[in-house]
Amino acid sequence: MAKNDLEMKMLYLVDKWRTGDLDALPYPMPPLDEWRMPPFEGKYNGLGLQMTFSTTGMLITGLNNFTITEMNISEENLEGSAVLNYPFVNMEADNYKLNGRAYVVYKLRGSGRMNVRVRNTKLVFGFRVNNNGSKPVVDDLQLDYEIESLEVDLENSSWPINKILNTEGLKIMNKHHDNIITQTRTNMIEFINEFLLEMPPERFFAIMETVNCSCLEGTTITPLE
């Protein structure tokens, strides 16, 4: 999959990152086994449901379990892109709140723990770094995803919320596709820009020159067992 030495080194370092071998990385990175997202609020009107909902901050696990099927990195243009496939990602919140109606007649209520498992996700992203100003920043970030299925359990929720979410959840999620992309994109840009403050492109590529991963030639990154 790697088309040049730089991409091979990136595969090597990403593999160290996802398996939790952070000491092997030439620069500090947060662990991937657990990731936290800020609280979320939203509204939904469809499939016979009218409801508002909110969650506390969400704990996301499974982000370290992926396969990279495509990677492109350009040192000259400061651009990068990749396609990642996740067999599953879990999202948990200590508390969610939900209010609304189903089929006009039934009152909907819910409050408690939230568990969502997303299966077979394809994540596509690409970014470009602008290094012409006083500090390097992400000039452009493209992001999209596709999901095959999801499983939802909202504790203490009214009938038929869990049933509908488990049969029609993808339709509901697709309706919020743009909001999810916007929130995730904002978080990714913030993360990359913070990284660039500590690791500007010149320093990053200088460090990459010192990475020795010749033993991994021809390798691919596969899901964790």
**Overall average pLDDT of the 129-144 stretch:** 86
Q: Looking at residue 1, what is its pLDDT?
A: 61
Over the stretch 10-45, which tens digit does the pLDDT of each residue have?
888 898 998 989 888 887 888 989 888 889 898 888
Over the stretch 158-206, which tens digit does the pLDDT of each residue have?
888 899 889 988 888 888 889 889 988 988 898 889 888 888 888 888 8
Q: Looking at residue 214, what is its pLDDT?
A: 56
| Sequence-distant (≥ 6) Cβ neighbours of residue 95 within 8 angstroms | 55, 56, 111, 112, 113, 114
Query: What is d(CA 50, CA 71) in angstroms, rounded to the nearest whole number?
Result: 41
Q: Is the pLDDT of residue 224 over 80?
A: no
**Overall average pLDDT of the 81-92 stretch:** 95
Domains of the chain, by residue range, sit at 5-216
Q: pTM, whole model, 2 decimals? A: 0.78
Query: What is d(CA 60, CA 93) in angstroms, rounded to the nearest whole number?
Result: 9
* Residue bearing the bigger pLDDT, 75 or 85: 85
Per the prediction, the chain carries an average pLDDT of 86
Q: Looking at residue 213, what is its pLDDT?
A: 67
| 18 Cα distance to chain centroid | 13
Query: What is 67-119 written as a DSSP string?
Result: EEEEEEEETTTTEEEEEEEEEEEEEEEEEEEEEEEETTTEEEEEEEEEEEEEE
Q: Looking at residue 218, what is its pLDDT?
A: 45
- At the fourth CATH level, which superfamily is domain 5-216? TULIP domain (3.15.10.30)
DSSP SS3 for 38:
coil
Q: Looking at residue 140, what is its pLDDT?
A: 85
